[in-house]
Amino acid sequence: MTQTKFLLNETDLPKTWYNINADSPVPPTPVLHPQTQDPVTPDFLSVLFPMELILQEVSADRYIDIPEEVREIYKLWRPTPLIRARRLEKALGTPAHIYFKNEGVSPPGSHKPNTAVAQAFYNKIAGTGALTTETGAGQWGSALSMACNFFDLPLEVYMVNISYQQKPYRRVLMESYGAEVFASPTDRTQFGQSVLADDPESPGSLGIAISEAVEAAVTSGGKKKYSLGSVLNHVLMHQTVVGEEALKQMDMAGEYPDVVIGCVGGGSNYAGLAYPFLRENLLNDQNARFVAVEPTATPTLTRGPYAFDYGDTAKMAPIVKMFTLGHGFIPPPIHAGGLRYHGMAPSLCSLYDAGHIEAVALPQLATFEAAITFTRSEGIIPAPETAHAICAVIDEALDAKEKGEERVILFNFSGHGHFDLSAYQTYLNGELEDYEHPEEAIQAALQHLPQVNL
Ligand SMILES: *Cc1c(COP(=O)(O)O)cnc(C)c1O
């Protein structure tokens, strides 16, 4: 048997999304209003999101039907291939079997359209006039730009200033889909103006850009709504098409993963792959391990406290319980822009806290080295975010080699790196740096966490 690609038919495209909250052994933690600290009401959330997405956010149903209109668009790139990385296995000399789900085949190049298309659809049918959002590296912005274009919805993107400078081609892609893109902080919002007043050269952060996009929606008199590319329950749920397909494809390969790996920024691509497999652990006696991978520069799970914190820098977004580096966190300029968020999806945090998921933090240089090994064996250059998953996969495969184990490793190839070549150039020139998040910064951020009395 030398099969390399495991491909599904369009008829195998999942008809439902999976909701981990139906099966999670840890109850969901409360979501609190940023000012009153009372549990948020649908009224508060409805300023930001259409009702259908709010219902999904709080749903306890195990499965939610994927609308036909969304499945039709998914068919442009789904089902995505599952690839056995035989050439990488050989390069490492490992007895491990390495599989990856290639979400880089979507038109904008990552897993993010899986939720962007769903969110644009529910906003369109709810009569939303326009969407606002933030983007870091530009992957989310381009995914939502494509989706909004398909549903004829105007889109305003607040792009983290440093990425706007470093990744001009992502902006061109968003504009080609028809979106309006601004370097955040901007002078279009009160919050952006206040940040610029303190620091006219501010590199921006995901937290600041979220605050601006939220403010733009909240002050639009109901015309605009806001869209988030990760962290929220409904976003993670939309991504579960990845894991549901992968379950079928692993079955085609006649194997089952011993370990499921993915990089985590807000947690959505990893949850999308992992949660359907975690369901099999919880309900069907499977025994896979789960490993979430983050940068040492933003070590949310491995070094942050598990605490209530604001979802954004301006304290306009709800307070949720998560591992956090503090809402004021300004991340170092690592190239994995999608991994620079200060917090993490609450469901993933609670599962990690309860020991169902492990986490590792990896330094930037090692991830680029792993990415180059992958590129030279499998031919695909990964996004710097994805490189974190690959680095952990290689560590896992070398550990299996040392122990002589035929370990089956599955990971989410969350996106390609075609727009990240300047980062690769820096690496190849030997100019890439490692960043370690300083302990003082964690202690300082702790001082600013909201005091929540439950
Ligand atoms: C956005 C992004 C991530 C991180 O976001 P998650 O919500 O944690 O998945 C990872 N990989 C790629 C390619 C991305 O674009």
Q: What is the pLDDT of residues 230-252, one digit of tens each?
A: 999 999 999 999 999 999 999 99
| CB 386 less than 6 A from any atom of ligand 1 | yes
pLDDT in tens, 13-40: 999 999 999 999 999 899 999 999 999 9
| CB 414 less than 6 A from any atom of ligand 1 | yes
pLDDT in tens, 267-292: 999 999 999 999 999 999 999 999 99
User: 3-state DSSP call for residue 239?
Assistant: coil
Cα of 137 vs centre of ligand 1, distance in Å, is 9
| CB 257 less than 6 A from any atom of ligand 1 | no
Q: Locate 187 and state its tokens.
A: 């002078």
What's the CATH fold of domain 5-10+77-109+239-439? Answer: Rossmann fold (3.40.50)
Q: Locate 210 and state its tokens.
A: 């979220």
Do the Cβ atoms of 452 and 37 come closer than 8 Å?
A: yes
Q: What integer pLDDT is reported at residue 332 of this predicted model?
A: 85
Closest ligand 1 atom number to CA of residue 231:
7
Burial of 451 (0-12, 13-18, 19+ CB in 10 A): exposed
pLDDT band at 44 (very low <50, low <70, confident <90, very high): confident
In whole angstroms, what is the distance from residue 66 CA to residue 294 CA?
30
Q: Locate 160 and state its tokens.
A: 């983290």
pLDDT band at 312 (very low <50, low <70, confident <90, very high): confident
Mutate to test the pocket of ligand 1, among 80, 100, 110 (most ligand atoms within 8 A of CB): 110
Buried/exposed code over 307-320 (b: 16+ C-beta within 10 A; e: otherwise):
bbbbbbbbbbbbbb
User: What radius of gyration, in Å, describes the C-alpha atoms of the chain?
Assistant: 20
Average model confidence (pLDDT) for the chain?
A: 95
The share of the chain scoring above pLDDT 90, in percent, equals 86
Average pLDDT value for residue range 34-55 = 93
Cα of 263 vs centre of ligand 1, distance in Å, is 7
| CB 278 less than 6 A from any atom of ligand 1 | no
Do the Cβ atoms of 290 and 259 come closer than 8 Å?
A: yes
Atom 15 of ligand 1, residue of closest alpha carbon: 139
Closest ligand 1 atom number to CA of residue 265:
8
CATH class of residue range 18-66+112-233: alpha beta
The share of the chain scoring above pLDDT 70, in percent, equals 100
Closest ligand 1 atom number to CA of residue 382:
13
Atom 2 of ligand 1, residue of closest alpha carbon: 338
Closest by CA position to 315, among listed 210, 223, 163: 210
Q: Locate 38 and state its tokens.
A: 């009372």
What is the Cβ-side half-sphere exposure of residue 268, based on CA atoms within 13 angstroms? 27
Buried/exposed code over 218-244 (b: 16+ C-beta within 10 A; e: otherwise):
bebeeebbbbbbbbbbbbbbbbbbbbb
In whole angstroms, what is the distance from residue 88 CA to residue 100 CA?
11
- Identity (one letter) of the amino acid at 32? L
Backbone torsion region of residue 267, taken as left when φ is above 0, otherwise alpha when ψ lies between -120 and 50, otherwise beta: left
In whole angstroms, what is the distance from residue 290 CA to residue 389 CA?
12
Q: What integer pLDDT is reported at residue 1 of this predicted model?
A: 64
Closest ligand 1 atom number to CA of residue 230:
7
Do the Cβ atoms of 220 and 253 come closer than 8 Å?
A: no
Query: Does residue 454 surpass a pLDDT of 80?
Result: no
Can 5-10+77-109+239-439 and 18-66+112-233 be said to share one CATH topology?
A: yes
Mutate to test the pocket of ligand 1, among 80, 230, 234, 298 (most ligand atoms within 8 A of CB): 230
Closest ligand 1 atom number to CA of residue 137:
15
pLDDT in tens, 396-424: 999 999 999 999 999 999 999 999 999 99
Mutate to test the pocket of ligand 1, among 102, 106, 111, 322 (most ligand atoms within 8 A of CB): 111
Cα of 218 vs centre of ligand 1, distance in Å, is 26
pLDDT band at 296 (very low <50, low <70, confident <90, very high): very high
pLDDT in tens, 350-394: 999 999 999 999 999 999 999 999 999 999 999 999 999 999 999
Atom 13 of ligand 1, residue of closest alpha carbon: 415
Average pLDDT value for residue range 127-154 = 96
Q: What integer pLDDT is reported at residue 358 of this predicted model?
A: 98
Average pLDDT value for residue range 298-316 = 92
Atom 7 of ligand 1, residue of closest alpha carbon: 268
Do the Cβ atoms of 277 and 255 come closer than 8 Å?
A: no
| CB 265 less than 6 A from any atom of ligand 1 | yes
Q: Locate 154 and state its tokens.
A: 């105007």
Cα of 139 vs centre of ligand 1, distance in Å, is 8
Query: Does residue 306 surpass a pLDDT of 80?
Result: yes
Q: Locate 253 and state its tokens.
A: 């390969």
Closest ligand 1 atom number to CA of residue 270:
9
pLDDT in tens, 314-360: 898 899 999 999 998 888 888 888 898 899 999 999 999 999 999 99
Give Cα separations from 4 to 83, 84, 242 (angstroms).
6, 5, 18
| CB 266 less than 6 A from any atom of ligand 1 | yes
Q: What integer pLDDT is reported at residue 446 of this predicted model?
A: 83
Q: Which sequence spans correspond to the domains of the chain?
A: 5-10+77-109+239-439, 18-66+112-233
Report the relative pairing of strands 63-65 and 16-18 from DSSP bridges.
antiparallel
What are the residues whose beta carbons fall under 8 Å from the beta carbon of 186, sequence distance 6 or more?
158, 192, 212
In whole angstroms, what is the distance from residue 93 CA to residue 299 CA?
30
Q: Locate 337 and state its tokens.
A: 């822009």
In whole angstroms, what is the distance from residue 277 CA to residue 280 CA?
5
In whole angstroms, what is the distance from residue 319 CA to residue 29 CA?
11
Closest by CA position to 248, among listed 272, 277, 278: 277
Q: Locate 90 and state its tokens.
A: 């050989």
Closest by CA position to 289, among listed 236, 358, 347, 243: 358
Phi, psi torsion values for 227, nearest 5 degrees: -135, 135
Residue corresponding to tokens 């709810």: 126
| CB 267 less than 6 A from any atom of ligand 1 | yes
Give yes or no for a cis peptide into 295 (omega within 30° of 0): no
Cα of 197 vs centre of ligand 1, distance in Å, is 31
Q: What integer pLDDT is reported at residue 422 of this predicted model?
A: 92
Average pLDDT value for residue range 425-442 = 92
- Least confident among 48-62, 344-358, 434-448: 434-448
pLDDT band at 123 (very low <50, low <70, confident <90, very high): very high
